[in-house]
């Protein structure tokens, strides 16, 4: 067995290595403690039938189906203290004027914990294929919650119940 020509010097290299490990240990402890305070989940949702959870953080959730339908939940701070009407108009304007989506209809929404919201349906073309996009908004004095669902339009009927279930089962914490 051939020995490597590299020799570890115990003096400075070992001290630097121990110091680095101690610093990393302290930093990781602070991050773990901070995640309990600052990374608290703001909502809960189990994936509807036909979907699996793909990604989850304290403020972001994504579930997908085998045919690439997606359900996304996001939450963010309501620093501007806008009410539901404000956020509905802001999102609607952004989707139509900025993103070029076609507005289809809107309606009422209700989260699993009883909060009332607004649901909007849009359509858009991407690479020659039509997509259906839905967004349900809920606003509290501190946070805004969005439940988004997207699917290729030809698969919409197949996923409508799952999209409805995602909104109805959303638990705002």
pLDDT attached to residue 38: 40
What per-residue confidence (pLDDT) applies to 68? Answer: 93
pLDDT for position 71: 96
Q: If you ran DSSP here, which 8-state letter would residue 114 be given?
A: S
- Residues paired with residue 3 on neighbouring β-strands, in sequence order: none
CA-to-CA distance for 102 and 138, rounded, in angstroms? 22
The CA distances from residue 112 to 1, 37, 42, 71, 135, in Å, are 66, 25, 14, 16, 16
- Could you tell me where the beta strands, DSSP code E, fall in the chain? 43-44, 52-56, 60-64, 70-77, 102-110, 116-126, 129-139, 143-152, 171-172
Residues 6 or more apart whose CB falls under 8 angstroms from that of 33 comprise none
Measure the CA–CA gap between 52 and 65, rounded to whole angstroms: 7
Task: Decide: helix, strand or coil at residue 93.
Answer: helix
Q: What is the mean pLDDT of each run of 10 residues along the chain (173 residues)?
A: 49 44 36 38 85 87 95 93 96 96 97 96 96 96 94 96 94 88
Quote the CA–CA distance of 146 and 87 in Å, as a whole number. Answer: 10
The C-alpha atoms of residue 134 and residue 82 are separated, in whole angstroms, by: 21
- Return d(Cα 126, Cα 60) in angstroms, integer: 24
**Per-residue confidence (pLDDT) for residue 41, from 0 to 100:** 62
Query: Does the pTM exceed 0.75?
Result: no
DSSP 27: H
């Amino acid at each position: 067995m051939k020995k490597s020509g590299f020799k570890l010097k115990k003096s400075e290299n070992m001290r630097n290595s121990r110091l680095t490990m101690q610093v990393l240990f302290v930093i990781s402890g602070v991050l773990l403690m901070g995640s309990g305070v600052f990374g608290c989940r703001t909502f809960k949702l189990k994936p509807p039938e036909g979907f699996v959870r793909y990604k989850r953080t304290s403020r972001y959730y994504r579930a997908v189906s085998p045919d690439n339908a997606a359900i996304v939940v996001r939450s963010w701070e309501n620093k501007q203290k806008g009410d539901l009407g404000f956020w509905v108009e802001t999102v609607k304007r952004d989707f139509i004027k900025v993103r070029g989506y076609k507005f289809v209809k809107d309606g009422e929404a209700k989260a699993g914990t009883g909060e009332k919201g607004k649901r909007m349906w849009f359509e858009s073309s991407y690479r020659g294929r039509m997509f259906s996009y839905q967004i349900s908004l809920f606003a509290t004095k501190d946070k805004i919650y969005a439940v988004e669902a997207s699917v290729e339009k030809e698969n919409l009927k197949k996923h409508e119940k799952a999209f409805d279930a995602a909104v109805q089962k959303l638990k705002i914490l």
